[in-house]
Amino acid sequence: MLFNSLQYLVFFWLVVAAYWSVPHRFRWPLLVVASCYFYMALVPAYILILLLVILVDWGAGLWIGASEGWRRRLALWCSLGANIGILAIFKYWGFFHDLSADLARSLGVSRTPLPALSLLLPIGLSFHTFQSMSYTIEVYWRRQAPERHLGIYALYVLFFPQMVAGPIERPQNVLHQLREPKTFRSGQFLSGLRLILWGLFKKAVLADNLARIVDAAWTDPAAKGPGLLLAAVAFSFQILCDFWGYSDMARGSARCLGIDLMRNFDRPYASLSLGEFWRRWHISLSTWFRDYVYIPLGGSRVLPLRRDLNLLVVFTLSGFWHGANWAFLLWGGLHGAFRVLEDRLGLGKGRNLPWLRRAVVFAVVTLAWVFFRAGTLPAAVSWFHRLSLPAQGWHLPLSIWNALLPLGLGLCAWVEARRSGYLLERWHALPTSARLALLSLFVLLVLSFGRFDARNFIYFQF
């Protein structure tokens, strides 16, 4: 189910009203059923995979909690093996199959070592397997007690606002919230609704309108010349608004149910360095890789060469997490290489020339997004080739309405820079009628300029 659909509008109000109308002991079953329904609105059969992941990791958590020594390690590896195995089969099989076929061909072997499987990737698989793994790893490190209640644990993985595209939560942040009784607070509920509306603005008005420009450049084989550069910049903002909008709607939906999820974005294009960018972009995934891969590899408390290697490994893995092909690997590798370069040259330190530094970071990130958007290496190479050609009459399909998009992006940047303090104070200082009028105007703006053709979120493919 997509947050930007009528289906979700109906579902959300139905669930929220039921949630706040039933006693606490019925709330977790209600949310589990609702979350299963939410997931089944996409591909019903794939709920079975999710239930398998839940059962395996819940069992593994209990086993880890009750064991010591090698049994404890074995339980952890069973859990990690199951999660990575499911990912390998559904997400990476095709990649390894193609790789093995290429290798076999180059060695003169006619038979492909791996059989071909044509499986559809269950939506959000990378997200919920990573969230599941974070639970068993935290239990193994004794930073989280094993959850004995299967229903509460299932809800930790299934919780519909964040199950398909994050934020990838940690058990310490969510499990206790799912257990605790909650009281309806209008302030919290309304702030959740505001967040949903704000996320919808980012998605339907900004991201989906930018998508028109981006898609025109990427799907038209005749597209060439400097217009492609503008489309690349448009994609940088499209993916930001798309994913940030999703995260806001996820956090807003959860907040309406009295549950606070972590922030996933913090104005990433305002970063002065690439390191800072990754502390502000997809925060839940960046911290996942930092805590469960980078630090166990030794982090930055090792020799400089080893640290560089750690960075490269983490970023390449991050690229591989996004997609099982060379373009995503290269995208991750590029970020890793730039991070190493930034560290070695000391470019990430200091705060002088902020606008120039922001421009450089944005340019690097935009360049890397080309591989991300292309999806395949040949498509990315073709894009760079076509960029170097003269436009020969081709131009981006811009209309007078596209001129409003920079205004929308500017509004978004302005609000995001001030929303936590100044704007919130001013908002609460306004009389109720003024707030209602402003909200109505904003809703009208979203309805007028938004695209509501239930367009998928970019990160749903992961």
Catalytic residues: 322
Binding site for another protein (CB under 8 A): 2, 5-7, 9-14, 16-18, 20-24, 37, 40-44, 182-186, 189-190, 212, 215, 219, 397, 401, 448, 450-454
CA distance linking residue 444 with residue 447, whole number of Å: 5
Q: Count H helices, E strands: the chain?
A: 20, 0
Task: Kindly state the smallest distance separating residue 47's Cβ from another protein, in Å.
Answer: 10
* 100 vs 188, beta carbon nearer another protein: 188
Report CA-CA distances (Å) from 273 to 163, 258, 283, 304, 359: 31, 35, 15, 19, 10
Q: How far apart are CA 167 and CA 175, in angstroms?
A: 14
Nearer to another protein, 195 or 361 (CB): 195
Measured CA angle at 193 (ends 188, 194), to 5 deg: 95
Output the smallest distance, CB 205 to another protein, in A: 11
Those residues with Cβ within 8 angstroms of residue 412's Cβ, 6 or more apart along the chain or in another chain: 201, 202, 206, 241
The least CB distance from residue 2 to another protein, in Å, is: 8
Q: Which is nearer to another protein, 401 or 422 (CB)?
A: 401
Q: Contact 161/261 with Cβ under 8 angstroms? A: yes
DSSP, res 297: T
347-370 burial, b if ≥16 CB within 10 A, otherwise e?
Answer: bbeeeeeeeebbebbbebbbebbb
CA 171 to CA 156: how far, in whole Å? 8
CB of 210 to another protein, least distance (A): 15
**Helices 432-449 & 186-200 angle (0-180, nearest 10):** 30
Which residue's CB is nearer to another protein, number 69 or number 181? 181
Q: Which is nearer to another protein, 44 or 296 (CB)?
A: 44
Say how far apart CA 236 and CA 461 lie, in whole Å: 17
